[in-house]
Homo-oligomer: A and B are copies of this chain.
Amino acid sequence: MARVITPRKEDYAQWYVDVVLNAELADYAPVKGCMVIRPNGYGIWENMQRALDQMFKDTGHSNAYFPLLIPESFMKREAEHIEGFSPECAVVTIGGGKKLEEPLYLRPTSETIIWSMYRKWIQSYRDLPLLLNQWANIVRWEMRTRLFLRTTEFLWQEGHTAHATHKEAEQEALLILDVYRRFAEEYMAMPVLIGRKTEKEKFPGALITYCIEALMQDGKSLQAGTSHDLGQNFAKAFDVTYLSKEGTQELVWATSWGVSTRLVGGLVMTHGDDGGLVIPPRLAPQLVVVVPIYRTEEQKQGVLEAARRLVDGFPPSWRCVVDDRDTAKPGRKFTEWELKGVPIRVELGPRDLENGEVVLARRDIREKIQVPMDRAAEEIELLAERIQKNLFESAKKFRDEHTYVAHTWGEFEELFKTGSGFVWAHWCGDSTVEEEIKEKTKATIRLIPMEGEEEPGSCIFSGRPSTRRVLFAKAY
């Protein structure tokens, strides 16, 4: 724990790695591109899972589990899909000591294997809608590990739904987009913008990809979740039809949607500071830590006893511990718990004990308050809400301060030369223009905003007419 955190201004990428390693969220695995998620990181993911899973169930979805191994021939059935994913795949060629007749792909996403089963399960309009989700590991080959952000194996949830009409599928994709937005904002305290991807950036095999995008502290955008209207592409590829009420055979409509452990990286980059990790209270594996303060052996006894009594009165879900280690002084303990991002620290010394008080120190801002010991639990609860709210508002303020409108190509280039951020600018809709802008500035179109926000203008690069501004940023 003696490592130091590189200040953000000095080297943001190194700061990120330092925070993740010091907070013991994750570590590098021996296989290139792979990571290990350590208990502190997995605890955040478990809380994310719990919240999202409840939101999926509340909107009518059930969990299932489909195989990791996908026959090569399945991957090839949807042309765009295989073109998009093939270069990233890991392939099993040996099983049970023998060379396989057909290679098996480790799922880079599960549309193909799932739709091969839907073909069997969907016969009639009575079988629709089919609203399934799975929590699973995914493999997409990466040469360079960026902990949580880009790894060969990662964890995610993927929803796969089947519907009788295109309208229903569209509504589903948008419903989930809203679930993702709410989760990001209400639990992660991470403000997001919503919209749809360009043709170039959309999911291979989708008609439309909707997304949530968040601005990180280095001015880069993080794609934090996507929800796809897949049209009938997979129904066609796997021949999935249903008998309609009217007695005709119809192709089924599809959506898929997912968020991954990448969100943990997003949480780090949204709230972390030069002292380490900052976890929003609603996702904190441990909400409170108590650090006892004493000098003499006599003080120690009284303080530790009071600290333990205090913790016994806290709800178990806070997972509060008393840091009673003799091997570190209070100041060192403060630093360590700050590195780990625990939202609230309780300090309790001999004088506090005399006064019947404790000190509550916030992780988000440098502020301490004294509260009566017998009201500590209520005060912590209130403080947790204030911290959650403050983190969201600070992140939103940061985003607003780093969101620009570019009116000319000169302005646009300048914005991406001197710094980064969200930049709204007109775009003519041409993919080659999108590509050229990327080559010149490294900025990509993060999203096209949803309908109803039209404002005619002319493309920042080509000068051709445009109906609305789109969101540009450099991206993770």
Which residues of A does B touch, CB under 8 Å?
27, 29-31, 34-39, 42-43, 45-46, 62-71, 74, 86-97, 103-104, 106, 113, 116-117, 120-121, 126, 132, 136-137, 139, 141-143, 152-153, 155, 327
Contacts and interface: CB of A to CB of B under 8 A. Distances in A.
Contacts of A120: 27
A65 B36 contact: yes
A63 B94 CA distance: 31
B94 A155 contact: no
Question: How many monomers of this chain does the complex have?
Answer: 2
A97 B39 CA distance: 33
Contacts of A29: 66-67, 113, 117
A63 B87 contact: no
Nearest to A126: B327
A93 B100 CA distance: 12
B87 A95 contact: no
Given A29-B117, A62-B43, A90 B95 contact: yes
Nearest to A132: B39
Contact of A43 (B63, B67, B95): B63
A327 B38 CA distance: 51
A403 B206 CA distance: 59
Contacts of A104: 31, 90
Given A91-B94, A152-B69, A64 B38 contact: yes
Contact of A64 (B36, B88, B126): B36
Given A62-B43, A94-B103, A97-B86, A137 B136 contact: yes
A49 to B, nearest CB: 10
A267 to B, nearest CB: 17
